Amino acid sequence: MTRAKRKWEHIKYALLETETNSHGFSDVSFIHQSLPDIALKDVSLNHHVGELSLSSPIFINAMTGGGGSRTTDINGQLAIIAREMGLAMAVGSQMAALKDFNERKSYQIVRKENPFGIIYANLGSEATVDQAKMAVEMVEANALQIHLNVVQEITMPEGDRDFSGALSRIERIVKSLNIPVIVKEVGFGMSRETVLKLKSIGVSVIDVGGFGGTNFASIENARRDDTLSFFNDWGIPTTISIVEAKSISPSLAIFASGGINNSLDIVKSIALGADAVGMAGFFLKQILESGIEETLVKTRKLHDDIKYMMLALGACNINALQTVPLIVSGYTHHWLNERGID
């Protein structure tokens, strides 16, 4: 199967994915506060993550690129949403474009449509330092995402079977780039052991890519006959992964992602410790099913709703929201208790 065909199939199957609700957000409740003592006009969504100056906690997570005019169109539309709403945006894996010059247009359109926005380049952990530099240059990126997708690769018949040396390759990239490196999962979540290793080599931003949203094991299994169905339920739910990652160090920036589709789960993610929230499947579905105008309306509503919840919680900025009291119950509570994490 060609790479372009595989990319298109990923989009097709991602659209068919149904909400599993196993991300853990129903285990998280706010404690209502009757005296918030702030006004709506005081609530700001601006936030700094190291040198990244974000005007929204929402970012469009890595999805597509390469694969011809259809993916170029999708990326162009996503970039317009990002520009109009002040969202950071990650491009999909650029490895194809490093190998084939003709594939670059579908990535570069993102910078063309959004010349002043925050853009994250994207490569897998097989990348070399030179490839990382080229990917960053290709989209004039403000940060580089490196994705970890072991279970997806194993589930793909044509996928990688050798994951050795990834940490030292990432370390070389972290030490060679002068922009932040974000290490992300793709929907299987990150444990505190993984995050500890990444912190030890100087990674400053973790995108937990938790379980409960787009599920690349199910997507790959749906594309093959001889399924590895045991991977369909494999992974760390998003809520748990946020807390596991944050428990390593308060100085580590955490991006929450994996099944986040509404304003309440965005606010819960930040209250669990996240600095920003990535949405991939949500924006893909919105753009393909409703178009740009309706997606802009929905994104504006997300921003308004986040502000209303921050007002009710008395949190005038993202830092304040990260410290509001919460009740954690159910499976999330049980897991964190078993792991000895507060």
Alpha-carbon span 19 to 17, nearest angstrom:
7
From candidates 81, 242, 245, 280, binder to ligand FNR by CB under 6 A: 280
Unique residue bearing structure tokens 């100056």 = 53
Any contact of residue 237 with ligand FNR (CB under 6 A)? Answer: no
Alpha-carbon span 69 to 207, nearest angstrom:
29
265 touches 22 (CB < 8 A): no
Any contact of residue 186 with ligand FNR (CB under 6 A)? Answer: yes
- Give 144's strand partners: 121, 181
Selected range binding ligand FNR among 129-137, 251-259, 293-301, 306-314, rule: CB under 6 A: 251-259
**Binding track over 101-130 against ligand FNR, x by CB under 6 A:** ---------------------x--------
From candidates 52, 58, 60, 62, binder to ligand FNR by CB under 6 A: 62
Total number of residues shown for the chain? 342
Work out the end-to-end distance of the chain between its first and last CA atoms, rounded to an integer number of angstroms.
Answer: 46
Selected range binding ligand FNR among 40-48, 81-89, 104-112, 179-187, rule: CB under 6 A: 179-187
Any contact of residue 147 with ligand FNR (CB under 6 A)? Answer: yes
From candidates 24, 57, 117, 187, binder to ligand FNR by CB under 6 A: 187
Q: What is the CA radius of gyration of the chain?
A: 19
Selected range binding ligand FNR among 77-85, 207-215, 224-232, 265-273, rule: CB under 6 A: 207-215
Instruction: Report in angstroms how near the CB of residue 257 gets to ligand FNR at its nearest.
Output: 5
Any contact of residue 209 with ligand FNR (CB under 6 A)? Answer: yes
Any contact of residue 214 with ligand FNR (CB under 6 A)? Answer: yes
Any contact of residue 218 with ligand FNR (CB under 6 A)? Answer: no
125 touches 149 (CB < 8 A): no
Of 263, 247, 243, residue with least CA distance to 332: 243
By DSSP bridging, strand 28-30 and strand 326-328 are antiparallel
